[in-house]
Homo-oligomer: A and B are copies of this chain.
Amino acid sequence: MINKKVNNVQQALHGVKDHMTLMLGGFGLCGIPENAIAELVRLNVKNVTCISNNAGVDDFGLGLLLQNKQIKKMISSYVGENDEFERQMLSGELEVELTPQGTLAEKCRAAQAGFPAFYTPAGFGTEVAEGKETREFDGKMYVLEPAFKADFAFVKAWKGDAAGNLVFKGTSRNFNPNMCGAAVITVVEVEDLVEVGELDPNHIHIPGIFVQRIFEGANYEKRIEQRTVRQKQ
């Protein structure tokens, strides 16, 4: 068993520098790497490019880095629900590359799996396809999208072991597995770091080979963005 365990978030983020490209898992505030984000704020790295489906909310998630003016460029599919994000984008302070969500996921998966680029129908005929190569296959038009190139991927899993094997829970899975192995260094934080051998080999979502560093995160807030409930009759 190849040991990927590091002792804390400081060790986990060792080597993160200004101007790097960072991938961060999560959908809205669900499944975001809370500990890595807090450490990025503490490190105060500047001019980073963040690849993340959303940018959190004003005072949580990647919103914290936006408030702190650490982000030069966001690559995301959805801005809604984050006023500061929209403000920085519309004012031109923040560079934003809006990417269809499925394309965003596949650009991660392509990097993970060694594909240089792929053809997707998403965005054909829209401004997303401007300046990009397009091509017809079987009468349908596709856009060529390159794989992402990132320095670090920050991933949040539910359970993991020192071998780097991961299990995700519910919809907090989202982009997290696709980002594993998609950057030079994949850093995973888990809620529960279990003994090696405890996870069923049939039910490991991400094998440890895609992971470089793993640690157990502290104090997950797991904030809910839209608490929607019904009343018991």
- Residue positions of A touching B, CB distance < 8 A: 114-121, 137-138, 140, 142, 146, 167-170, 201-203
Contacts and interface: CB of A to CB of B under 8 A. Distances in A.
Contacts of A120: 115
Nearest to A136: B116
A202 B170 contact: yes
A170 B204 CA distance: 11
Contact of A118 (B118, B169, B201): B118
A138 B116 contact: yes
A87 to B, nearest CB: 36
Contacts of A114: 121
Contact of A119 (B117, B142, B170): B117
Contacts of A202: 167-170
A201 B167 CA distance: 12
A70 to B, nearest CB: 29
Contacts of A140: 116
A169 B119 CA distance: 32
A96 to B, nearest CB: 25
B117 A137 contact: yes
- State the main secondary structure of chain A at its contact with B: mixed
Contacts of A121: 114
Contacts of A169: 202
A138 B142 CA distance: 21
Contacts of A138: 116
Contact of A116 (B137, B170, B201, B203): B137
A203 B202 CA distance: 9
Contacts of A203: 203
Contacts of A142: 116
12 contacts: A114-B121, A115-B118, A116-B119, A116-B140, A117-B119, A117-B137, A118-B119, A137-B146, A169-B202, A170-B201, A170-B202, A203-B203
A146 B119 CA distance: 11
A139 to B, nearest CB: 10
Nearest to A204: B203
Contacts of A137: 116-117, 146
A124 to B, nearest CB: 12
A2 B170 CA distance: 21
